[in-house]
Amino acid sequence: MPSVKGVYYTNYHPNHADHFKGTDIYGLSSLTEQNRKYRLNTQSLAGPTITALLHNEPVAIFGCGILWSGVGEVWSIFHETARRYPIAMTKGALIFFDICEILFNLHRIQITVVSKDKRAVAWANTLGFEAEGLMKNYSVTKEDTYIMRRK
């Protein structure tokens, strides 16, 4: 994984959810603390998941849910602090997705991105994803999202 002073990647552990403060920017702040932890921990069970730690505090979590043989859906969640390290986060995501693709013999990796979140769409494009379609009212908050696949 990329080397940045103070940043390292490790396997996800449920206690990372206890210390992760990044869900507020995703509109999930109405969830109880217990629900937030439950959602992260449940999603981490669907496939490999790693945490980016900065000075021992989780700042990003990356996962790959294995939908069925050959197909994985990747996801990530960030604390605002992680955005100060765009190169490390991008390289970390690229390496993690490559490892998942090889390890699980994936022929398709996909991601969903809220269509109006231009920064997230641009980052997905940087990671090699291209939009295949628009899913209307798909998110929890009924926002339109792109279904994107990795080229």
CATH code assigned at 1: 3.40.630.30
| Residue showing tokens 């999930």 | 28
CA-to-CA separations, 69 to 75, 94, 105, 106, in angstroms, rounded? 18, 21, 8, 7
- Are 64 and 109 in contact by the 8 Å Cβ rule? The answer is yes
| pLDDT-based confidence at residue 9 (cuts at 50, 70, 90) | confident
Look at the chain and report how many structural domains it folds into.
Answer: 2
The tens digit of pLDDT for each residue in 99-126 reads: 999 999 999 999 999 999 999 999 999 9
Q: How far apart are CA 86 and CA 143, in angstroms?
A: 26
Q: How far apart are CA 97 and CA 54, in angstroms?
A: 20
- Pair 64, 128 in one domain: no
Domain range enclosing 135: 111-151
List % helix, strand, coil for the chain (3-state, nearest 5). Answer: 35, 35, 30
The tens digit of pLDDT for each residue in 51-87 reads: 999 888 899 999 999 999 999 999 998 888 888 888 8
Length of the chain in terms of residues written: 151
- Pair 20, 81 in one domain: yes
- Per-residue tokens: 89: 């986060």
- Pair 100, 123 in one domain: no
- Are 50 and 61 in contact by the 8 Å Cβ rule? The answer is yes
Question: Minimal CA–CA distance to 75: which of 97, 58, 108?
Answer: 97
- Per-residue tokens: 120: 């997230």
- Pair 56, 2 in one domain: yes
- Pair 25, 93 in one domain: yes
pTM over 0.75: yes
- Pair 60, 129 in one domain: no
